[in-house]
Amino acid sequence: MTGPAPIALDEVLPTRPVTGAGPRIAVVVPLNFPDQTAETRDLVVRFTRTALDCLAGFGARLQVIDVSRDDAPGPGADVTGMLLLGGGDVDPALYGHHGDVPNLYGVDRGCDDRTLEAIGAALVNRIPVLGVCRGSQLLNVYYGGTLVPDLGPDSPHHGHGDDPLFLDDTVLIEPGTRLHAVVGRSELTVRNGHHQAVDEVAPQLRVAARGLDGVVEGVEHRDAGTWAVGVQWHPEDSDGPADVRHALFRALIAEAAALDGAVCTVS
């Protein structure tokens, strides 16, 4: 029995990409990963297309980097912002876990390594980064933090049994954080579907949001001069609130537009 056909880049590209003088955003996404099902394929296409449509609609030019490909390029020299989208689970060895992991899914170490390389290229050059789900987790792993390998069978952050994987979930935003300034609220209803999360927060980062059960739902860089924000939830889920998605993506684009003359060193 064969799986679904691989996702092609043209399936997710926005219908009206920007070609003008807007900031160029590198969108780092694994379009394909091991054990991909028809359900997850549809989710990746929908989520990625929503993210790209939103960025293009706000005037961003796009470089889509499919890190599931061995020949994925690094961010271009004209990139001034980076969005890290979701995908399969991070290789547990990258955060020092070597035992069994319940429900481990979609691990691709090459994809992880290419994503971490892209993150490094952005952060070394002070290019603003917004990480979503896996992207937020890898931001933490890049700096030496760890992940919870599995939140357990009763986690409220994803559907169970025959329920849909993604559900509405409440997150609490930490006052005084960059994330709080972006979304303008202390409590959000978001779309979640994750069985892993940030555990030990890297020293360079701080907690920016938590679930009602205390699970980390957002992190951000402590340095005021480094705009790096990660959210565990999926603002690019088109079934979720558009205002939160717009606030996060507008903030990334604004930071990217303000950055002048940055050059990524990975090509």
**Residue 146 lies in domain:** 21-258
154 domain residue, yes or no: yes
3-state secondary structure the chain: CCCCCCCCHHHCCCCCCCCCCCCEEEEEECCCCCCCCHHHHHHHHHHHHHHHHHHHHCCCEEEEEECCCCCCCCCCCCEEEEEECCCCCCCHHHHCCCCCCCCCCCCCHHHHHHHHHHHHHHHHCCCCEEEECHHHHHHHHHCCCCEECCCCCCCCCCCCCCCCCCEEEEEEECCCCHHHHHHCCCEEEEEECCCCEECCCCCCEEEEEEECCCCEEEEEECCCCCCEEEECCCCCCCCCCHHHHHHHHHHHHHHHHHCCCCCCCCC
* pLDDT greater than 90 at residue 151: no
78 domain residue, yes or no: yes
Q: In the predicted model, what is the mean pLDDT of residues 168-176?
A: 95
Q: What is the pLDDT of residues 185-225, one digit of tens each?
A: 999 999 887 788 999 999 999 999 999 999 999 999 999 99
What confidence score (pLDDT) does residue 194 get? 73
- Number of separate domains in the chain: 1
Q: In the predicted model, what is the mean pLDDT of residues 150-177?
A: 76
Q: What is the pLDDT of residues 228-260, one digit of tens each?
A: 999 999 999 999 999 999 999 999 999 999 985
Query: Residue 262 — pLDDT band, cuts 50, 70, 90?
Result: very low
1 domain residue, yes or no: no
pTM beyond 0.85: yes
Q: What is the pLDDT of residues 25-42, one digit of tens each?
A: 999 999 999 999 999 999
263 domain residue, yes or no: no
What confidence score (pLDDT) does residue 152 get? 76
264 domain residue, yes or no: no
157 domain residue, yes or no: yes
What confidence score (pLDDT) does residue 157 get? 55
247 domain residue, yes or no: yes
Q: What is the pLDDT of residues 51-108, one digit of tens each?
A: 999 999 999 999 999 999 999 999 999 999 999 999 999 999 999 999 898 889 999 9
Q: Which residue has the tokens 């993506």?
A: 249
95: domain CATH number is: 3.40.50.880
Q: In the predicted model, what is the mean pLDDT of residues 7-30?
A: 91
What confidence score (pLDDT) does residue 94 get? 97
7 domain residue, yes or no: no
- The per-residue pLDDT of the chain, averaged, comes to 91
Does 152 or 66 have the greater pLDDT score? 66
Q: Could you tell me if 190 and 243 are in contact, meaning their C-beta atoms sit under 8 angstroms apart? A: no
- Give me the active site residues, please: 133, 234, 236
Query: Residue 160 — pLDDT band, cuts 50, 70, 90?
Result: low
What confidence score (pLDDT) does residue 127 get? 97
What confidence score (pLDDT) does residue 52 get? 97
Q: In the predicted model, what is the mean pLDDT of residues 138-151?
A: 94
